[in-house]
Amino acid sequence: MEITLNKPLDMHLHLRDNEMLKTVAPLSAKTFSSAIIMPNLVPPVTTIEDVISYKERIIEACGDESFDPLMTLFFKDDYSYDFLNSAKEHIFAIKLYPAGITTNSEGGVSTIDSETLKKTLEAMSELGIPLCVHGESDGFVMDREKEFVPIYEELATKFPNLKIIMEHITTKDSVEALERHSNLYATITLHHLLITLDDVAGGMLHPHLFCKPIAKRPEDRAALLKVALDAHPKVMFGSDSAPHPKHAKESCGCAAGVFTAPIALQVLVELFEKHDKLENLQKFISDNAQKIYNFKPCEKVVTLEKKSFIVPTSYNDVIPMYAGKEISWSIKSIS
C-alpha cells in the first residue's frame, strides 16, 4: 500500500541556529516543500537584516534539498508601516509571543490588546501580512489557551482584514472560535493529535512529550482530531517541531518542545489511515495552507509505503518522538 503527498507543508517549524540548525534543517527539508520558520532565536529576528541572514544560514544548512524557508519577524508593537512595507518582500508572516510564555519569548509583548498593538496590526492589515500567535495567558497552565480565546476574538473583530493564525491549538475552545470569525485560522501539531496530559505526566514523567502549550484533556484532543481528520478548510498542519539537546530535556527545568520533524509525515499517514481518513490528508498537509496563505510552494512529491520503520533513538543528541519505536509507514521516494 502506498500514498503520495504533493508539496507537503509545515506551517510552524523551529530550526534554531548554529549546530542545532545544521542537525535539524536537513530533516525537514528532505520531506517538506516549505515551512514557516519561527523567529524566536537569541536574540530574536526583528530586522530585515536578521531575516535575510537567518534565511541564508537555513538554506546553507539544507544543502542540496529542495526546500523554501518561509521567514517571519518576531512581533514588536512599534513596527512602523514604512518598515513593514520594506520587510514584506522578505517575510511570510509575523509571529506574536506573549512575553516569557514559551522558549526564547522573553522579548515578547507584555500587554496584548487591540489598542496596545494597534500601530503594528493596522500596518499589517493594510499590507496583507498575516499574524501568527502563540495564544496563551499567564494563568493556570491548563487554562492558558482557553483564557486567550477572548483576545483572539477581540483582535479578529477590531482588525477584520487581518489574517490571524491561532498557532498549535490544543483546546476545543479554540476549535469553536474558528467558526465565529472569518479571519481566524489555526495550525495543529502532530503530537497534540496523539497525546493528552496523561501521556506526559500521568505515570512517570515523559520529558520528551513536554511542550507548550501543554497537551490537554481527551475531549480537547477529540475536537482537534475531528477538524484535522475532516481537513476543515481553516486548519492546517504545523508541526511545532522544537528540538532541544538531550541534556536540556532530561533535566530539572525540562525544556519545552517535542521533536517530530523526521517522522511527521509517516505518523500522520498512520493516524489518518487508522481513522479511515487518508483521502483528507493532502488537504491537511498542504492544500488548506496554500489557500489560507494564498501561495504556491515549490514542487516536491513524497511517496510513502506501508512498511515498518524503526525511529532512530536520536539525531545528534536530539531525541525524536517515538524514539526507538516501530511505526507502520516509511518514506519510499521523494522527487
The catalytic residues are 240
Question: Three-class SS string for the chain?
Answer: CEEEEECCEEEEECCCCHHHHHHHHHHHHHHCCEEEECCCCCCCCCCHHHHHHHHHHHHHHHCCCCCEEECEEECCCCCCHHHHHHHHHHCCEEEECECCCCCCCCCCECCCCCCCCHHHHHHHHHHCCCEEECCCCCCCCCCHHHHHHHHHHHHHHHCCCCCEEECCCCCHHHHHHHCCCCCEEEEECHHHHHCCHHHHHCCCCCHHHCCCCCCCCHHHHHHHHHHHHCCCCCEEECCCECCCCHHHHCCCCCCCCECCCCCHHHHHHHHHHHCCCHHHHHHHHHHHHHHHHCCCCCCCEEEEECCCEECCCCECCECCCCCCCEECCEEEEEC
What is the number of other CB atoms lying within 10 angstroms of the CB of residue 278? 16
Name, in order, each residue with C-beta under 8 angstroms of 320's C-beta and a sequence gap of 6 or more: 259, 260, 261, 262, 263, 311, 312, 314
